Structures are given as structure tokens and as C-alpha cells.
């Protein structure tokens, strides 16, 4: 009897390991396929940026392009007014579609859109009302362009509600392409910043309407508009700590440009933004992989032992590294030649060294997308929020000191140090969790929103 019981136990363990191997074998091809679709969707705005940036710089000049870069930062930052609901909707819809609650999806979406609309109106109104203060106090632009910049920011405020609303609807749409192609086309007829902002506003409204049409097609009962406060509470609970990350992360990612604008000049932003835009486009690779792996990490964390999670994590990480490292190395080598051909020899002389620093840092930044997706998939958005707060209090003083001492190269170096700290924290937490032997189960979801 004892030998029979022992044999049965061994057989179950072997069967469990076999099932885990089969599960991983199924997940990896799915990851590659989904990441490929994500990469295809992000390739369009990437190509649009590479084509449009030199056109814009030559058409509207360094100062206007620098201002336009700051305007994009403001739109992205005030998009944080979504209170984490955009990501919360993705998480909530995925959970419902994987279970038996798909009938509640439309209620969840409309409840989220209601909150997003209100938040967007508040954020947009704040930008429009403070446009003169922003230009006079934080953006060092030539006096003859200041009035033009104030009007442009006021128009920009009108687009923020649309941006925030779209964050709850956005799928794999090449919306980012419009940020570059639209202004590049308008610049051939007018270099006026307000005219460029009007163009962007019209394009964003059109894309938001298109996203609504896609939701009508793919979500059951989408036209049945119902607001459920229980759904709002669920989204706010899930998005609470995501909001902290949404507030802090854009500060860290984009504050370097605001520092350059206020401490140096708006034209100097061009010499930093241009190489940054090129190098950051490499992030479409790990971003596509992380986006595809996020729902799988969420499912594995709840239902599977950590040996399956560990195997999937390592293969996902290897895929990101194998694709990213050669591309970053190539940019490091050809930085001066690329900028000379793409923009001008003068800009290459100013920006090639910055591009090399950023190319080295982008590898560290890119591979950290995988542990970030893993931690978020576990439902521990509070952990990433605490990490971001820690990084913020160290990064901003370092950025201020290094821009004063080293200029634009100091800005790039401060960014590299910040993403290195971010990667160290994310990999450390992920490694500690992957040593455990049991799945998280439902408590992982309950922990969201608690520090």
C-alpha cells in the first residue's frame, strides 16, 4: 500500500512537471505572435517619427520644435489624469473575458469612461487656464514667440480630455504616428504653433471616435450605457497605486526636457530630444513583448507554481535582450553618421555623444520592462509605485546637479543612472518572488491598492 501511494505521488509530480512544460511550450509561441502584432502596431509611429522629425526641425526651426516637444510632454503628463483607470480597464476586461463575466464588460468600460471624462476636463481646463504662467515661468522661449506659445498651450488644453478618454479605449492603434505626421504636413503651409495644435486636436478627436467604433464592434452590448459605482470602485482600487506610478513615472521620464528648457533654453531641448527620440524608438521591442506578456504573467501568478512563472519570465527576458542589444550597439557605433545624414552635421556634433550614452542606457531600461510587467501582472502596482517614488527623490536632485556641471551630457548620464536603479529594484523584487513555490492565488488581486 505504501509503495502504491509513493508511486502515485511520484506520478502526480511527474505529471505536474509535464503539464508545466507543455504550458510553457504553448505560451512562448503565443508570446512571440502577440508581441509581433504589438511591434507591428508600434512600428508605424516609429517610422512616422523618423521621417517627420527632420522635416519639422527644418520647417519650423529649433525653438518651435523644442516647444512642440515640451507640449507633447505636457499632454502625456496630464494624461495621468486617467487615475490609472486606463490600465485598470485593461486588467479588468482581461479578467472578465477569461472567466464567465463577459456580460459585465460594457458596464465596466462605461463606468471607467465616465470617470476618465471628468478627470480629462479638469486637467485640460487647468492647462488652458495656466498657459500664460507656464510660458512665462517654465519655458525659456524667444520673446517674439511667447504669445504664439500661450495660444498654442490654450488649444493644447482642449485636447487633454480627448487624450485621457482615449486612454481607456486604446488598443493596438498607430495613434502615435499622428503626433509627427500631422505637424509635419501642417508645417509645409504654416509654422504657426496654434495651427499645429489645432491639427493635432482634430486628429485626436478623429482617432477617439474611431476607437469608439472599434469598441462597438468588439464589446458585447457596448451601446448599453450603464454606470455602476461598484465598477468605478474596482477601477479606482486597481488604479490607485498605478496612479502614483502614472504621476511619478512621467516626471522622471520627461523632467529632463523641462529642466533643459528652464535652465538652458528651449532650442537646447532639440539637441537632447532628437537623439533621445531615435534611441527611445528601440523600446518598441521590449514594450511589445511586455505588453504581450502582461496578461500571461497575471494568469500565471494566480494559478501556476513559480517554476512555470520563472521559465516564462526567463524566456521572455531572453527574447527582449536578444532583439534589443544588437540594435542598441548599432546605434552606439553609427550615432554621429546617422545624425549627420538624418538631420545635419551641426546637430550631430552637438548630440552624438548624448546618443551614445542613451544607447547604453536603453538596454538597461528596455530589459527592465519584463520585470515591470511581471510585478504589475502579479497585481502589485503598489510595489512599482514605491519604487518610482524612491527613484524620484534621488533622480531630480541628481538631474539638477549634473545639468549644471556637465550640460546636456549630464542630463543623459542622470537618465542612465535612474533607469539603472529602476532595473535593479525591479529585478531584485522579481527574483525574490520567483524563489517562492506556490502561486499567489486570489490574494494577489486583493492586495492591489494597499501599500
Neighbouring residues of 7: CB distance < 8 A, sequence distance ≥ 6: none
Are 93 and 109 in contact by the 8 Å Cβ rule? The answer is yes
Three-state DSSP class for 139? coil
Burial profile 204-213: b = 16 or more Cβ within 10 angstroms, e = fewer: beebbeebee
**pLDDT at 363 (0 to 100):** 95
Q: Which triple of cell numbers denotes residue 268? A: 537646447
20 vs 8: CA distance, rounded Å: 18
- In degrees rounded to 5, what are phi and psi of residue 190? -155, 135
Q: For 291-328, how does the pLDDT look when each residue is reduced to its tens digit (9 = 90+)?
A: 777 777 777 766 666 777 788 888 888 888 898 999 99
The backbone region for 407, taken as left when phi is positive above 0, alpha when psi lies in -120 to 50, beta otherwise, is left
- Length of the chain measured in residues: 451
Are 422 and 387 in contact by the 8 Å Cβ rule? The answer is yes
Q: Which triple of cell numbers denotes residue 163? A: 487624450
Are 413 and 364 in contact by the 8 Å Cβ rule? The answer is no
Are 253 and 247 in contact by the 8 Å Cβ rule? The answer is no
Q: For 241-268, how does the pLDDT look when each residue is reduced to its tens digit (9 = 90+)?
A: 566 666 677 677 778 888 888 888 888 8
Are 231 and 107 in contact by the 8 Å Cβ rule? The answer is yes
**pLDDT at 305 (0 to 100):** 66
347 vs 350: CA distance, rounded Å: 5
Which 8-state DSSP code applies to residue 168? T
Q: Global pTM? A: 0.65
pLDDT tens by residue, the chain, 451 residues: 444 444 444 444 444 444 444 444 445 566 666 556 556 656 666 677 777 888 888 888 878 888 888 887 777 666 555 556 666 666 666 666 555 555 566 677 777 777 777 878 888 888 888 888 888 777 777 788 888 888 988 888 888 888 777 766 654 344 455 566 777 778 878 878 888 888 888 888 887 887 778 777 766 666 676 777 766 666 666 655 566 666 677 677 778 888 888 888 888 888 998 899 889 889 888 888 887 777 777 777 666 667 777 888 888 888 888 989 999 999 999 999 999 988 889 889 999 999 999 999 999 999 999 898 888 877 777 788 888 888 888 999 999 999 989 999 999 999 999 999 999 999 999 888 887 644 444 433 333 333 3
Place of cell 512537471: 17
Are 123 and 77 in contact by the 8 Å Cβ rule? The answer is no
Q: What is the 3-state secondary structure (H, E, C) of 7-22?
A: HHHHHHHHHHHHHHHH
Amino acid at each position: 500500500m505504501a509503495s502504491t501511494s509513493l508511486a502515485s505521488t511520484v506520478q502526480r509530480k511527474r505529471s505536474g512537471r509535464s503539464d508545466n512544460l507543455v504550458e510553457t511550450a504553448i505560451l512562448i509561441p503565443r508570446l512571440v505572435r502577440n508581441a509581433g502584432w504589438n511591434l507591428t502596431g508600434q512600428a508605424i509611429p516609429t517610422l512616422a517619427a523618423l521621417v517627420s522629425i527632420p522635416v519639422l526641425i527644418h520647417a519650423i526651426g529649433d525653438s518651435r520644435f523644442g516647444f512642440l516637444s515640451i507640449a507633447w510632454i505636457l499632454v502625456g503628463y496630464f494624461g495621468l489624469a486617467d487615475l490609472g483607470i486606463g490600465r485598470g480597464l485593461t486588467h479588468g476586461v482581461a479578467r472578465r473575458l477569461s472567466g464567465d463575466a463577459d456580460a459585465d464588460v460594457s458596464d465596466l468600460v462605461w463606468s471607467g469612461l465616465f470617470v476618465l471624462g471628468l478627470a480629462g476636463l479638469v486637467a485640460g481646463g487647468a492647462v488652458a487656464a495656466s498657459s500664460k504662467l507656464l510660458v512665462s515661468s517654465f519655458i525659456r522661449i524667444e520673446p517674439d514667440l511667447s504669445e504664439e506659445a500661450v495660444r498654442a498651450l490654450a488649444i493644447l488644453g482642449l485636447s487633454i480630455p480627448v487624450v485621457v478618454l482615449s486612454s481607456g479605449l486604446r488598443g493596438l492603434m498607430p495613434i502615435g504616428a499622428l503626433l509627427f505626421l500631422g505637424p509635419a504636413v501642417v508645417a509645409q503651409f504654416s509654422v504657426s504653433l496654434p495651427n499645429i495644435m489645432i491639427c493635432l486636436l482634430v486628429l485626436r478627436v478623429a482617432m477617439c471616435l474611431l476607437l469608439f467604433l472599434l469598441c462597438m464592434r468588439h464589446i458585447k452590448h457596448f451601446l448599453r450605457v450603464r454606470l455602476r459605482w461598484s465598477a468605478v470602485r474596482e477601477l479606482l482600487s486597481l488604479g490607485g497605486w498605478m496612479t502614483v506610478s502614472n504621476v511619478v513615472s512621467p516626471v522622471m521620464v520627461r523632467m529632463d526636457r523641462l529642466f533643459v528648457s528652464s535652465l538652458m533654453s528651449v532650442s537646447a531641448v532639440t539637441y537632447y530630444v532628437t537623439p533621445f527620440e531615435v534611441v527611445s524608438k528601440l523600446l518598441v521591442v521590449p514594450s511589445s513583448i511586455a505588453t504581450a506578456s502582461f496578461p500571461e504573467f497575471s494568469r500565471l501568478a494566480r494559478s501556476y507554481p513559480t517554476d512555470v512563472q520563472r521559465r516564462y519570465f526567463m524566456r521572455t527576458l531572453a527574447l527582449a535582450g536578444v532583439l534589443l542589444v544588437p540594435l542598441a550597439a548599432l546605434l552606439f557605433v553609427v550615432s554621429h553618421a546617422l545624425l549627420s545624414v538624418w538631420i545635419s552635421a551641426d546637430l550631430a556634433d552637438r548630440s552624438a555623444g548624448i546618443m551614445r550614452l542613451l544607447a547604453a542606457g536603453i538596454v538597461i531600461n528596455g530589459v527592465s520592462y519584463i520585470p515591470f510587467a511581471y510585478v504589475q501582472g502579479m497585481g502589485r502596482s503598489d510595489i512599482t509605485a514605491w519604487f518610482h517614488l524612491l527613484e524620484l527623490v534621488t533622480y531630480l536632485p541628481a538631474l539638477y546637479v549634473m545639468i549644471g556641471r556637465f550640460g546636456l551630457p549630464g542630463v543623459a548620464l542622470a537618465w542612465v543612472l535612474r533607469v539603472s536603479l529602476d532595473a535593479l529594484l525591479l529585478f531584485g523584487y522579481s527574483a525574490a518572488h520567483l524563489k517562492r513555490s506556490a502561486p499567489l492565488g486570489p490574494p494577489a488581486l486583493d492586495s492591489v491598492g494597499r501599500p
